Amino acid sequence: MPTLDEQHAAYRHLSARESFLARPVALVGFMGVGKTSVGRRLAQLLHRPFVDSDPAVEERSGRSIPELFAAGENVFRDWEFAVLKDLLAERQDAAAEPAVIALGGGAFAQPRCAELVLDRAVVVQLYTPWSVMLHLLGDLAADRPLLRDREAWQVQDLFLARSAAYRRAHLRVNLPRQGAAQAAESVAAMLRPPRRELRSR
């Protein structure tokens, strides 16, 4: 039978974990991996609002993503950070439901964004290997400025560099083994509050 101190320590651990899981959920991963589709489904499962950061940036700035990149990637990154900071600050309001937020592919590779999101959200990486992403490049380049006029090996360099950043995520789901719905179910299962079953026997 656990001692009283052990029971108190266990309850404190459960409370801390519950508090962590109650944070906003930030989905990160390479462009085109499925953050929006998984995020929408996950938000439904968790009964939370869903926010896609790229459209939020466009709405806040009044310019499209390609237009912002045309002004300089740093211009886009500044808007991206400002929007994420506001979104996470809003969700810290106790009266607001914590959101599921799909981040742009490069957001988590920016140190200031990564530190902000790791501190205020549960970060989940959606992973798809390069062998799968390679076949998607033609479609992805149509509306993603960073992919235009780049050779496959250059995009792979970007993929590898960002993958190193994504490893800091709290949780990871492998998408090739699951569709968007199954991936959302897997993430939801990880995020459900733990049972309080610690009792004296």
Q: Please check whether residue 79 is in contact with residue 85, taking contact to mean a CB–CB distance below 8 angstroms.
A: no
The domain spans of the chain are: 24-191
pLDDT band, very low/low/confident/very high, at 165 (cuts 50, 70, 90) = very high
pLDDT, tens only, 2-40: 676 545 455 454 555 666 677 899 999 998 888 999 999
Q: Is the pTM of this model over 0.75?
A: yes
Calculate mean pLDDT across residues 90-98. Answer: 60
More confident residue, 176 or 108: 108
The CATH class of 24-191 is: alpha beta
How far apart CA 164 and CA 9 sit, in angstroms, is: 35
3-state secondary structure of 115: helix
The CA–CA distances, whole Å, from 8 to 19, 112, 158 equal 16, 36, 47
